[in-house]
A = this chain, B = another copy of it.
Amino acid sequence: MNTTASLPPINALTLVQSASLSHLVADSIEEMILGGTLRPGVRLNEVTLAQQFGISRGPLREALSMLEGSGLITQEKNRSAHVRQISLAEAADIYDVRAGLDAAAGRLLAQRISDEQLQTLRVMTSAMHKVQPDDVDRFHELNLRFHDTIVAMTGNAVLIDQYRKLCKLLVLFRRRNLMAPMAIPMFAEEHATIVDFIAERDGMGAAEALFAHAQGGKMRMMKDGEM
């Protein structure tokens, strides 16, 4: 039992006892970062954070160690931890790696996709075709889900893990993913093409299409960055 007051902290850390406190807190901080409560560059004071969560410094420091490993925060010796800031150049690097993982996922999935999975992808692409041309947010969400689904369908836990970690990092990049409304139909069309390659079991074609598709996204991001 806690000897301290342990009033209901920021998030409900209770209820789940399957994971250790440090894991719970790490997940909680991660949510706060990804959700925008803790913005990039924000300083993370150990005592303050520990008090907010109603825990001691020990588990909190362990949580910070984990978060540093996943790249969500940075730590320098004897200096406070900070929520990581991703520069334009770093974001470009992440985009490139993610493109590589996208391509790998497509290639692998083309070797092993089931009819049912294919059906799911088809439903997703048709849904994207129906998005209102000005509903950029909606399309952006569907786009992320489409690519995540392709990765998830490979069943490769290592790939899924790495891919999602990269996606999380991109949230730390300051610029919002601006997508020109007129680019939406083209994007939807590219998705359909990708699914076609996978359906034909053309791993190479799928990989190429996915990489090019991702590179297109990167280019738009870079262009925004220069402005």
Contact = CB atoms under 8 A, between A and B. Distances in A.
B159 A100 contact: yes
* Of A93, A101, A162, most B-chain CB atoms within 10 Å: A93
A96 B108 contact: yes
A69 interface: yes
Interface string A1-36: 000000000000000011110100000000000000
A22 to B, nearest CB: 6
Interface residues of A, number: 39
- Interface SS of chain A: helix, strand, loop or mixed? helix
A21 to B, nearest CB: 9
Copies in the complex: 2
Nearest to A94: B158
Interface stretch (A39-47, A59-67, A142-150): A59-67
Contacts of A202: none
Interface string A177-199: 00000000000000000000000
Given A62-B65, A207-B211, 15 more contacts: A19-B77, A58-B58, A65-B69, A66-B68, A90-B157, A90-B158, A93-B158, A93-B159, A97-B162, A100-B103, A100-B104, A100-B107, A101-B101, A104-B211, A207-B207
